[in-house]
Amino acid sequence: MDPVRVGVIGCGAISPAYFNAAKTFPVLEVAACADVNLDAARTRAAEFKVPRACSVAELLADPSIEMVLNLTVPKAHFGVSLQAIAAGKHVYLEKPLGVTREEGLKLLSAASDARLMVGCAPDTFMGAGIQTARHLVDNGHIGNPVAFTAFMLGRGPEHWHPSPEFYYAVGGGPMFDMGPYYLTALLNLLGPVKRVSGMASIAVSDRTITSKPKFGKKIHVETPDHIVGTMQFANGCIGTIVTSFAMRAAQYDGKNPITIYGDRGTIKVPDPNGFDGPVFLCTFGEKDEYHEEAPWATKGYGRSVGLADMATALRTGRPARASGEQAMAVLDLMQAFLESNESGKAVAPQVAYERGLPMDPTLAFGRL
């Protein structure tokens, strides 16, 4: 099939991961990159041999660009994606889909009206780690899922990220930054959600950047940096998710931060912020010993597999896995945790969710 010509908007810290991984997919042709800082676009173009660096307006005006990869900061996701849709481009964007439920719904509506596709990170659930865990759940290796725990614990990105301010503005925080990885994994493992409840706080209200180049700059935190949620899935599974930028988790290594407990066994799921990683299974009769399971799906994918999957969907007519609809369900849940915290009541999702297709383990690497 003919490759899809992609234009990248946003050449910041996450962009190298996309530029590198995109080269492994024949269906993708990264044709141009743009940034509000043109020098940043030129630097990335030279670094990754992208044919053209240009302004955002020039990229959007290029009729040969079919799809925009939007890697801007969260607050700009909605506006930039809407501009791309208005220019007749399909859009794949970094998570989250928007910073409010209303933004996400407006974006999907605009794309639908224009008969364009929207896809959204994370795509890590397409890696061998989550896909292997999904295969085990779907094939009854733990029986009926009864409970789960999911933990993302840390002290915040101001210690390593070069420009961490946006993590503590509206649309940031550990739930909107890291929650998409965990919630997307849980939806793929367990299906649609029936209701959620949440509690949230600003545990550390003022922070100091200790990374360069902004060492010493102060940040006032505007959004919760510690969120705890309870989720009840339609299949009856009930569990807890904790996302926090407010602690030193000395006993927490983060290697298998999700555990699914069934009535016949338990699965330890690898970090959903990565693509591979070991999956451990314990079933009754094994004296609570976990055994590492062989990967069920293709290993070695990186960021851009969701973009490539969407490009393949565009060419073949099948649904995309890292779809805008899935990202909208995740955004709805993240908003629901905060609304539950404010109201003190459980909240039912406003957006329906249907699990996408699992990955096909028979296809060669790079073929989707």
pLDDT of 287 reads: 72
| 98 plus 152 within the same structural domain | no
Claim to verify: residue 132 and residue 257 sit in the same structural domain: yes
Q: 197 Cβ partners below 8 Å, 6+ apart?
A: 229, 230, 337, 340, 345, 346, 347
Cβ–Cβ < 8 Å for 148, 186? yes
In a domain, 357, yes or no: no
Residue 310 lies in a domain: no
CATH classification of the domain holding 59: 3.40.50.720
Q: How many domains does the chain have?
A: 2
Are 91 and 51 within one domain?
A: yes
Q: What is the CATH number of the domain that holds 159?
A: 3.30.360.10
pLDDT digits (tens, 9 = 90+) for 273-303: 999 999 999 998 767 789 999 999 999 999 9
Same domain, residue pair 133 and 47: no
Same-domain pairing of 142 and 285: yes
In a domain, 342, yes or no: no
Give a yes or no: residue 274 inside a domain. Answer: yes
* Interior/surface letters 166-177, b for 16+ CB within 10 angstroms, e for the rest: bbbbebbbbbbb
Q: Which among 120, 155, 184 is the end of a domain?
A: 120
In a domain, 351, yes or no: no
In angstroms, the CA 303 to CA 71 distance is 12
**Containing structural domain, residue 271:** 124-293
Q: What is the DSSP string of 155-220?
A: S-GGGT-SSGGGGGSTT-HHHHHTHHHHHHHHHHHH--EEEEEEEEE-S--EEE--SSSSTT-EEE
Tokens of 284: 């009754």
| 326 belongs to a structural domain | no
Do residues 52 and 84 both lie within one domain? Answer: yes
Task: Please tell me whether residues 246 and 179 are part of one structural domain.
Answer: yes
CA 118 – CA 6 distance, rounded (Å): 13
Is 252 domain-assigned?
Answer: yes
What is the per-residue pLDDT for 181?
A: 97
Q: What is the mean pLDDT for each group of 10 consecutive residues in the chain (368 residues)?
A: 96 95 96 97 97 98 98 94 98 95 97 98 97 98 97 94 91 93 98 98 96 95 96 98 89 85 96 96 83 94 96 97 98 97 97 95 92
User: How many other β-carbons are positioned within 10 Å of the β-carbon of residue 303?
Assistant: 22
pLDDT at 250: 65
Q: Check: pTM over 0.85? Answer yes or no.
A: yes
Domain boundary among 70, 87, 120: 120
Do 77 and 164 belong together in one domain?
no
Domain boundary among 265, 293, 321: 293
